[in-house]
Amino acid sequence: MKGFKKVLATTLAAAMVTVMAIGCGSSKDTTDTKAEEKTETSDSAEADKSADVLKGGGSNIIYIITPSVSNPAFKAEADTASAKAKELGYEVKTVSHDDDPTKQTELFDSAIADKAAAIICDNAGADATVEAVQKARDAGIPTFLIDREINEEGVAISQIVANNYQGAKAIAEKFVEAMGEKGKYAELLGKESDTNAGVRSSAFHEVIDQYPDMEMVAQQTANWEKTEAYDKMEAIIQANPDLNGVICGNDTMLEGVCAALAAHNMTLPVIGVDGSDEAAALIKSGQATGTALQQFAVIAEMAVVQADDYLKNGTTGLDEKQLVDCIAITADNVGKLSGFIFTE
């Protein structure tokens, strides 16, 4: 009996120890995470990062993933990045996610399957993109984000962000001046899934809402699109014949708005964001007030150069998050703008 109890006790104890072991290290992931946490607590974060240099997938291909190139801004971005990458000796694949996070994930998967050396991406959502970039990172492929940022640091190598907020604020100030600080205005918003639609709108309103005599009479989305903006603007004009101005989340919508206004022989203060040549022409002809130039070409080139530096030296030597200012474009300086490049 005593012997049995002894055996029982030992067995139970052994079982507990086993459970403990399983509970602690049931999966490899858990142990890995724990090990990482331990190094993080003892080492500095910098040391951790440098130990974690991504070598690229093995091929010589740079993937350039952008929103739809039907918007000339993204076309300029993709073309500039592509040209620079070829100049530096890379093979290039340019693809578009059309602002669809699911499609973007598929494109990242293709890049991983192609063993891409690096990915340059103007992403399809600040939260949705994190996982895709992480997946590439796990496959040893460094990602360089351009134009739009994501809500996570330490996943991408660089985030070269167009300062939409500053640009939209700067041009909103010009809009308020053109309106004489008062009057009724309408707003056309960009695609809701795109972070920048919200960023630009809140920047516009941070400025405009401070003026008590500025009254917004309509706010609708036109999904960044020209035709949709034209149709929405038609309806807004019908409902508000006494409208005094329009703010647009981007320049393609500004084009649609100006066309609709022109069809009614109306000229009002209109602003956009992007800095396209089409918008520049409308500013020159007096049909639009201004736009905020996002320096797409500059940003795209910076990203490719940083990717090349990183692949060759294991570091870009720069902060992950880099903010690139927008430039407010009005009749005063529109002559210096061409092909998304502002020449002082």
Q: Is position 47 an interface residue for another protein (rule: CB under 8 A)? A: no
Cα Rg, the chain, nearest whole Å: 26
Which candidate, 297, 273, 290, places its Cα nearest to that of 164? 273
Q: Is position 340 an interface residue for another protein (rule: CB under 8 A)? A: no
Determine how many CB atoms are found less than 10 A away from the CB of residue 169.
21
**Residue 301, Cβ density class (10 Å: 0-12 exposed, 13-18 middle, ≥19 buried):** buried
Member of 40, 98, 192, 215 binding another protein (CB under 8 A): 40
Element (H, E) at 216: strand 214-221
> C-beta of 343: minimal distance to another protein in Å?
11
Question: Measured between alpha carbons, how far is 34 from 126 in angstroms, rounded to an integer?
Answer: 27
The residue range among 115-123, 158-166, 257-265, 282-290 that interacts with another protein, by the rule CB under 8 A, is: 158-166
> C-beta of 248: minimal distance to another protein in Å?
19
Q: Is position 35 an interface residue for another protein (rule: CB under 8 A)? A: no
Member of 135, 320, 339, 341 binding another protein (CB under 8 A): 320
Question: Measured between alpha carbons, how far is 64 from 119 in angstroms, rounded to an integer?
Answer: 6
> Which is it for the CA torsion 288, 291, 296, 297, positive or negative?
positive
Angle, vertex CA 190, rays to CA 188 and CA 194, nearest 5: 160
DSSP 334: G
- The encoded tokens of residue 263 equal 């069809």
Q: Is position 205 an interface residue for another protein (rule: CB under 8 A)? A: no
Q: Is position 263 an interface residue for another protein (rule: CB under 8 A)? A: no
**Residue 344, Cβ density class (10 Å: 0-12 exposed, 13-18 middle, ≥19 buried):** exposed
190 touches 250 (CB < 8 A): yes
Member of 173, 228, 234, 309 binding another protein (CB under 8 A): 173
Q: Is position 199 an interface residue for another protein (rule: CB under 8 A)? A: yes
The residue range among 58-66, 195-203, 230-238, 242-250 that interacts with another protein, by the rule CB under 8 A, is: 195-203
Member of 69, 71, 87, 166 binding another protein (CB under 8 A): 166
Q: Is position 37 an interface residue for another protein (rule: CB under 8 A)? A: yes
Side by side, the strands of the sheet bearing 245-248 are 214-221, 183-189, 245-248, 270-274, 290-293, 327-330
Q: Smaller CB distance to another protein: residue 264 or 336?
A: 336
Q: Is position 192 an interface residue for another protein (rule: CB under 8 A)? A: no
Q: Per CB under 8 A, which of residues 3..22 are in contact with another protein?
A: 5-6, 9, 12-13, 16-17, 19-20
Q: Is position 210 an interface residue for another protein (rule: CB under 8 A)? A: yes
> C-beta of 209: minimal distance to another protein in Å?
10
Q: Smaller CB distance to another protein: residue 264 or 321?
A: 321
> C-beta of 102: minimal distance to another protein in Å?
23
> C-beta of 234: minimal distance to another protein in Å?
32
Which residue is listed with tokens 């736009």?
Answer: 291
> Which is it for the CA torsion 83, 87, 88, 90, positive or negative?
positive
Q: Is position 110 an interface residue for another protein (rule: CB under 8 A)? A: no
**Contacts to another protein by CB under 8 A:** 2, 5-6, 9, 12-13, 16-17, 19-20, 23-24, 30, 34, 37-38, 40-41, 126, 149, 151, 153, 161, 163-166, 169, 173, 181, 195, 199, 202-203, 206-207, 210-212, 319-325, 344
